[in-house]
């Protein structure tokens, strides 16, 4: 999912080299808190070094990161093993469910997020996964693994530019939904992914933990940009938001999570909440197009300790071909 807004897949090695160089301490860090986990790329990159605690307020991001933090592929003893269960899911006949009706080309909603066949197939897979979990056919790790593979497969067939806030005007993605095995990185460390407001985690962070922050940089809320993934992942009826007497054109549901880091009015106070936690090492990823300038961030962080900044040229993701170079920032706050 390298087209996910702000994802760090292509920057992970650079981030690792910077953080690993600064972070070793005596005693060594207990936990690595990835508080805006997104696709889980950073959590996955650091899982061999630390006990990871990841968090995101989107269910789809939580599920993807949770997949990557598993240390082994589950056994699927009730279903004949991982290859057997993936084959079963891929062989399902689709049906005219909510995703087909609301978000596929031939459904009444006439939204072109998916082809008709993929809309039906997504309905069939999600329904069976919900059923298996509720009946106890699969355990928590097995559920995590299958949902992660499912979300990856959905990305490959979506008729979008990578963001699910809107679909393309014509159906151009002809791929067929196919869940594939995801190979995991095995470690001796203990990892946990959480779906919650990350502010609630700050109280449990200890001085010797590392905190990594990769918040939204601008006013685009991730909840609205990835609303369709959220609707697919949640076992509840999808209620489309009413706008000016009709349904939302893009199919936005009525309730979506929001982040104060996307608000010009709230971003400063929100950042101060995070850096006020007890961790002595806090890393902040940001870029040169964010709501906060480089100087503003330095001014906010400096009263808490010594702040170092490293920069890297980076081609940002854009929905058209006019990608341009920006600067990726990594601020390191070291408290006394």
SS3 content of the chain, % helix, strand, coil (to 5): 35, 15, 45
Q: What is the pLDDT of residue 2?
A: 45
Q: What is the pLDDT of residue 129?
A: 98
The answer for 199, left when phi > 0, alpha when psi is -120 to 50, beta otherwise, is alpha
Joined together, the tokens standing for residue 193 give 């992914």
Query: CA geometry: angle at 91 spanning 156 and 114, to 5°?
Result: 35
Single out the residue of 215, 256, 216, 214 nearest to residue 234, CA to CA.
Answer: 256
Between the alpha carbon of residue 320 and those of residues 31, 289, 291, 297, 317, the distances in Å are 39, 17, 22, 30, 9
Ranges under pLDDT 50 in the chain: 2
> Which phi and psi angles does 334 have, rounded to 5°?
-115, 115
Joined together, the tokens standing for residue 288 give 């040169």
Q: What is the pLDDT of residue 64?
A: 96
**Given the DSSP bridges, would you call strands 325-334 and 281-287 parallel, antiparallel or unpaired?**
antiparallel
Question: Does the bond joining 256 to the residue before it have cis omega, within 30 degrees of 0?
Answer: no
Q: What is the pLDDT of residue 10?
A: 85
**Superfamily name and number for 1-15+27-70+187-217+260-336:** Vaccinia Virus protein VP39 (3.40.50.150)
Q: What is the pLDDT of residue 155?
A: 95
Strands (E), 24-97: 31-34, 51-56
- Residue spans of the domains in the chain: they are 1-15+27-70+187-217+260-336, 73-183+222-256
Distant-in-sequence, close-in-space partners of 308: CB < 8 Å, separation ≥ 6: 22, 331, 332, 334
317 and 5 in contact (C-beta within 8 Å)?
yes
Hey, how many other C-beta atoms are within 10 angstroms of the C-beta on 316?
16
Q: Rounded CA gap, 252 and 255, in Å? A: 8
Q: Rounded CA gap, 29 and 52, in Å? A: 11
- For residue range 136-178, what is the model confidence (pLDDT) as tens digits? 999 999 999 999 999 999 999 999 988 888 899 999 998 999 9
Residue 11 is classified by DSSP as G
- What are the b/e assignments for 125-141, b being 16+ CB within 10 Å? bbbebeebbeeebbbeb
Between the alpha carbon of residue 323 and those of residues 1, 98, 262, 326, the distances in Å are 17, 35, 22, 9
Q: What is the pLDDT of residue 140?
A: 96
Q: Rounded CA gap, 3 and 18, in Å? A: 24
């Amino acid at each position: 999912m390298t087209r996910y807004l702000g994802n760090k897949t292509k920057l992970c090695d650079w981030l690792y080299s910077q953080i690993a160089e600064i972070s070793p301490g005596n005693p060594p860090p207990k936990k690595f808190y990835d508080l805006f986990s997104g696709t889980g790329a950073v959590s996955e990159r650091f899982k061999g070094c630390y006990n990871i605690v990841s968090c995101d307020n989107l269910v789809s991001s939580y599920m993807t990161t949770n997949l990557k933090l598993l240390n082994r592929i589950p056994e699927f003893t009730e279903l004949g093993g991982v290859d057997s269960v993936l084959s079963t899911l891929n062989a399902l006949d689709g049906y005219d469910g909510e995703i087909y009706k609301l978000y596929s080309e031939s459904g009444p909603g006439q939204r072109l997020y998916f082809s008709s066949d993929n809309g039906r197939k997504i309905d069939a897979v999600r329904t069976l996964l919900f059923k298996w979990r509720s009946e106890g056919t699969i355990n928590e790790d097995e559920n995590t693994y299958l949902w992660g593979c499912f979300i990856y497969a959905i990305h490959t067939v979506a008729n979008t530019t990578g963001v699910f806030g809107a679909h393309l005007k014509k159906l151009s993605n002809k791929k067929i939904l196919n869940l594939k095995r995801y190979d995991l990185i095995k470690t001796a460390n203990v990892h946990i992914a959480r779906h919650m407001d990350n502010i609630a985690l700050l109280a449990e962070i200890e001085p010797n933990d590392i905190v990594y922050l990769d918040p939204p940089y601008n006013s685009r809320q991730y909840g609205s940009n990835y609303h369709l993934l959220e609707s697919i992942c949640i076992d509840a009826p999808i209620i489309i938001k009413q706008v000016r007497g009709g349904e939302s054109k893009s199919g936005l549901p009525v309730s979506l999570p929001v982040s104060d880091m996307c608000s010009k009015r709230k971003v400063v106070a929100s950042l101060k909440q995070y850096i006020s936690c007890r961790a002595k090492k806090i890393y902040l990823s940001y870029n040169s197009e964010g709501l906060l300038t480089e100087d503003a961030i330095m001014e906010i962080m400096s009263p808490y300790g010594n702040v170092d900044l490293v920069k890297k040229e980076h081609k940002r993701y854009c929905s058209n071909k006019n990608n341009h170079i920006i600067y990726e920032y990594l601020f390191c706050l070291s408290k006394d």
